[in-house]
């Protein structure tokens, strides 16, 4: 299924967001292939049964083969994605400049720090779908690294 190829990309991106790395360079597809290979090799080593090891190795080979086969197109898609992220961030920064209401994030020391808004929603008066604009490097990274005291 498409999830077999989509899931490693999303996991890889989330890892990069946690690390504070946004733009992916020309070797991005190779980095994803290495990420997939490393993850599968770990799963292969953890497997006890030879049949399980063989199944995981076959799955890894199939996924890596697909990424290598489509690497040229994937590079173009990721370049376009970076351009769209840049355009989105320009809009978000402009919206942040006219925002009068402060936003705060709870910190690990029990205090608060000023943060940018979660994002913005662009909607049309004619109806239809709305578009949510979020700075993943700020909002998503903050969520990934945030102090979670939900149970308290």
- C-alpha angle 106/107/113, rounded to 5°? 70
Q: Residue 117: is its pLDDT beyond 60?
A: yes
Q: Residue 55: is its pLDDT beyond 60?
A: yes
Q: Residue 146: is its pLDDT beyond 70?
A: no
Q: Is 62 helix (H, G, I), strand (E, B) or coil?
A: helix
Q: Residue 29: is its pLDDT beyond 80?
A: yes
Q: What local confidence, expressed as pLDDT, does residue 69 receive?
A: 96
Average pLDDT on 39-65 reads: 96
Q: Residue 148: is its pLDDT beyond 70?
A: no
Q: What local confidence, expressed as pLDDT, does residue 37 receive?
A: 97
Contact 18, 24 (CB under 8 A): no
What predicted TM-score, i.e. pTM, was given to this entire model?
0.69
Q: Per-residue pLDDT tens for 72-99?
A: 999 999 889 889 888 988 888 888 777 6
Closest CA to 75 of 118, 117, 32, 36: 32
C-alpha span between 37 and 35 (Å, rounded): 6
Give the relative orientation of helices 71-97 and 28-46 as an angle to the nearest 10 degrees.
Answer: 110
């Amino acid at each position: 299924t498409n999830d077999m190829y989509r899931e490693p990309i999303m996991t890889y991106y989330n890892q990069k967001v946690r690390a504070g790395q946004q733009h992916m360079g020309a070797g991005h597809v190779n980095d994803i292939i290495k990420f997939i290979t490393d993850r599968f090799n770990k799963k292969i080593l953890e497997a006890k049964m030879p049949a399980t090891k063989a199944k995981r190795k076959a799955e890894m080979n199939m996924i890596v083969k697909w990424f290598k086969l489509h690497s040229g197109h994937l590079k173009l898609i990721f370049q376009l994605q970076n351009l769209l992220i840049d355009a989105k961030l320009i809009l978000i920064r402009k919206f942040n400049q006219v925002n009068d209401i402060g936003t705060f994030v709870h910190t690990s020391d029990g205090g608060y720090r000023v943060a940018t808004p979660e994002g913005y929603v662009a909607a049309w008066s004619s109806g239809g779908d709305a578009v949510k604009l979020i700075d993943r490097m700020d909002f998503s990274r903050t969520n990934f690294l945030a102090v979670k005291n939900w149970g308290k």
